[in-house]
Amino acid sequence: MEPFEELPDRTEYPEYYEVIAHPMSLNLAKKRIDLGYRSFDAFNYDMLWIFNNAIFFNEPESDIY
């Protein structure tokens, strides 16, 4: 799960932040868990953002896709 732990570096991948409207990482989700999600649906949406962002941004033949 390493590629998903942190958000991509803004200087290394500026285009990521140009095309991804809702950046999300596992560490950010963990912080939100610690603070308390309002609902399971909110947590579920964040998990879906992580994987949907990876599919949207990466090429189908990449390891992350």
pLDDT for 65 equals: 86
pLDDT for 47 equals: 98
Nearest to 31 by CA among 59, 51, 6, 48: 6
pTM of the model: 0.86
pLDDT for 45 equals: 98
pLDDT for 48 equals: 98
Token digits of residue 15:
């285009």
Token digits of residue 53:
């962002």
The segments of the chain whose pLDDT lies below 50 read none
- Note the CATH architecture for domain 2-57: Up-down Bundle (1.20)
